[in-house]
Chains A and B, each alone.
Chain A
Amino acid sequence: MRQQVPLLITFIVGSLLIVSVFIPPFGDLETTFNIWFDIIAVFAFFLGGGNLLRVHINKLRKRKRDWGFSIVTIVGFSVMLIAGLFKIGNPGDIASAVDAPGSLFYDIFNSVQYPLSATMYSLLAFFVASASYRAFRAKNREATLLLIAAFIILLGRTPFGMMLTSWVPDSTSLLQIPNLAQWIMNSPNLAGQRAIMIGIGLGVISMSLRLILGIERSYLGGDK
């Protein structure tokens, strides 16, 4: 029973959504289902928040490894939650946006989350540089081709690319590095991306059918 009910729900919802796409009178069903999904998504926020607190409070209680970071997580979560729920410092009324300019939520977001997130992402530059030195080597023909393409794209994304090849006549302008970079993006890259997308599309269709027909059951948990 614990398996049959979710399988039945998946089958009915999946089939109805397919029907709603292909048979016009059922078109509104898709909108209705999407609104239901939107309502369920709101509950997912509660579940997510609750789960985050549960995991970190447990970690803190049992003094597990790196429990200090759990304090930061819980304090950060609570401060943002309180600032948002009670709209502290919010210049508007109760209906105004939770993050209206001037509110505590807005200020914390802009002075803490914004720089922290941007910094984390920026660290990529250091790792990319280190990886390019250690791993980007012309070991064989394919790696050499990739290396040359990367060089052209890197140069093409800077003004130096144009400066270096501005002498190339217009009749052979494809050989100018920015144009060459654009060609790589427009032709070999595009062909590869399309192949990947078609593959993913076929995979999604096949997996969806397996889910709807109850062949794929791993989402239910357990061994079967």
Chain B
Amino acid sequence: MSNLGVIISLLVIFGGLTWLLFRSIKGREVDRRVIFVFIFLAVAAPILFPITFQEHASPVVKGLFDHIDNLPPGSRVLISFDYDPAMAPEVQPMANAISLHCLDRGHKVVFMSLWATGQTLLFNTLQDVIRPEFPDLIDGVDFVSTGYKAGNEGVLNVIVSDFKKMFPTDVNGVPLDSAVIFDEINSCADFDLIVALGGGRPGPKEWVLFVGDPADVPIGVGVAAVVAPQLYPYYPRQIIGMLGGVKGAAEYESELAHRHERFKDMAQPGLKMMGPQTLAHIVIMCFIVIGNVVFFRSRRREGR
């Protein structure tokens, strides 16, 4: 049934696009509402009739994956949720996969957020992903959430030298002095890895500038696709690995399922979203071709 749905959807989309191509060869413009309908179909069809693809981690994703995999168990990892619900469909799958990976490897994880909205999204990860997968892990011993702190780069400037000065308690008001996980953590320099998730400001770039470089801590990032090109100047020396958009999340999930038996059957929202993204990209490319056909035809006509 699902395969039939996929075939019918593809026939409708590509049949329609061919019809539009012939129309444009005859010199007729395409109304923007028609474009909207095609994008809607391209995104909706793979959601209704899932299309899944095999993904392989690219070197830029593998850089972060391997670093987490190779850290000795008990290493201290800081994960910062610096994003909002708009970016969440792209970034939350990365956050979930990286958090699961770190905890599975036995690392001690500190969660925090520089965005007010990030704290609730962090709760979602703790509640929906970490608790069910690792019911035996103890809050304050194996992981802790310090929640959100206002102040943007100001917060980073302080925690780079004294973490508890900015975060005296965890998100539930429990003093960090009583959290076992913080016995050997005084500042960001005491972390073995920092993972900055987000895409806005403050975000991964600020983590590199205000913490990664001054404290000499490796930084891994997960960002929305539109932000990824801006971070390439930092890779691979200041950023050890980067997950960009849905594709980055899908590659990480695929690598996790491939290399860790425990996560073979885990939910893979990133991989699921690759179907709509792939089809939407192809439809956009077809529209670029159709748009150029119209352009060259009209230019030739004007030339005559």
Contact = CB atoms under 8 A, between A and B. Distances in A.
A158 B165 CA distance: 45
Given A38-B149, A38-B166, A190-B233, A160 B282 contact: yes
Contacts of B287: 129, 132-133
B288 A151 contact: yes
A182 B60 contact: yes
Contact of B88 (A37, A118, A137): A118
B85 A118 contact: yes
Contacts of A178: 58
Contact of B284 (A35, A45, A96, A132): A132
Contacts of B54: 159
B279 to A, nearest CB: 9
Nearest to B228: A185
Interface in B149-204: 149-152, 154-155, 157-158, 161-162, 165-166, 169, 171-173
Interface residues of B, number: 68
Contact of B120 (A106, A125, A154, A157): A106
Interface string A115-143: 11110111001101110111011110000
Contacts of A157: 225, 245, 247, 277, 281
B292 interface: yes
Interface stretch (A58-66, A97-105, A216-224): A97-105
B285 interface: yes
B39 A129 contact: yes
Nearest to B247: A157
A152 to B, nearest CB: 10
Given A34-B157, A129-B39, A154-B281, A159 B120 contact: no
Contacts of A193: 229-230, 232-233
A138 B295 contact: yes
Interface stretch (B29-37, B66-74, B98-106): B29-37
A4 to B, nearest CB: 27
A92 B39 contact: no
Interface string B53-90: 11110111000000000000000000000001111110
B119 interface: yes
Interface residues of A, number: 61
B124 interface: yes
A30 B214 CA distance: 14
B173 A147 contact: no
Contacts of A114: 85, 88
Contacts of A128: 284
B278 interface: yes
18 contacts: A34-B155, A34-B157, A34-B158, A35-B166, A38-B149, A95-B172, A109-B85, A116-B85, A121-B89, A126-B36, A129-B35, A129-B287, A133-B35, A138-B295, A154-B284, A155-B285, A159-B53, A186-B232
Interface of B: 30, 32, 35-36, 38-40, 43, 53-56, 58-60, 84-89, 117, 119-120, 123-124, 127, 147, 149-152, 154-155, 157-158, 161-162, 165-166, 169, 171-173, 225, 228-230, 232-233, 245, 247, 274, 277-278, 280-285, 287-288, 290-292, 295-296
Given A133-B32, A137-B295, 12 more contacts: A34-B155, A37-B154, A41-B152, A96-B173, A99-B119, A109-B117, A120-B86, A133-B30, A133-B291, A154-B281, A189-B229, A193-B229
